[in-house]
């Protein structure tokens, strides 16, 4: 069903560390460099243990702005019927530090393929559960659907 290929609207960029004798610092995003009117609304940090998978799931309206700090395998499937890359899939090995912007309708999952805990920061453009956490969560989950075409290899 899905074929390997690029996915429209997905942005991939390297984290550029600025190193000195104290360690390093990296800008994760700057308002003057965000594309397409994207405006983060919140931020969170998660730790994923080795070999653990998070997802697959998708958002109908939310764009995710992931900052991977660790060795992850990211799976993407374009599930947007109106996209020129509909039914494309892409697997990205994040290396140690990578930023990936995932637009609405792109199913995504990631697995920590490293030997130690990996860290992921996300700066989505929607509040989880809406203002005051009073709305439905914008998420379609496929993790427990045995019939799902979104499979981790």
Structure tokens that stand for 147 in this block:
């019939």
pLDDT in tens, 29-47: 888 888 878 999 999 999 9
Query: Was domain 3-25+46-141 assigned CATH 3.40.30.10?
Result: no
| Tens digits of residue pLDDT in 52-96 | 999 999 999 999 999 999 999 999 999 999 999 999 999 999 988
Q: What is the dihedral of CA 18, 110, 121, 29, to 10 degrees?
A: 60
- pLDDT recorded at residue 148: 94
Torsion from C-alpha of 24, 29, 32, 35, nearest 10 degrees: 140
Q: Give residue 22's pLDDT band: very low, low, confident or very high (50, 70, 90).
A: confident
Locate the domains of the chain by residue range.
3-25+46-141
């Amino acid at each position: 069903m899905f074929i390997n290929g690029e996915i429209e609207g997905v942005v991939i960029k390297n984290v550029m560390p600025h190193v000195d004798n104290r360690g390093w610092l990296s800008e994760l995003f700057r308002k003057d460099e965000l594309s397409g009117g994207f405006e983060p609304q919140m931020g969170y940090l998660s730790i994923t243990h080795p070999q653990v998978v998070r997802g697959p799931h998708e958002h109908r309206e939310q764009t995710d702005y992931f900052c991977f700090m660790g060795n992850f395998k990211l799976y993407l499937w374009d599930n947007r019927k109106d996209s020129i890359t509909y039914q494309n899939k892409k697997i990205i090995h994040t290396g140690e530090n990578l930023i990936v912007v995932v637009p609405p309708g792109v199913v995504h999952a990631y697995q920590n393929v490293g030997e130690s805990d990996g860290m992921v920061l996300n700066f989505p453009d929607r509040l989880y559960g809406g203002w005051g956490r009073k709305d439905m969560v914008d998420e379609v989950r496929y993790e427990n659907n045995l019939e799902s075409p979104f499979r981790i290899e």
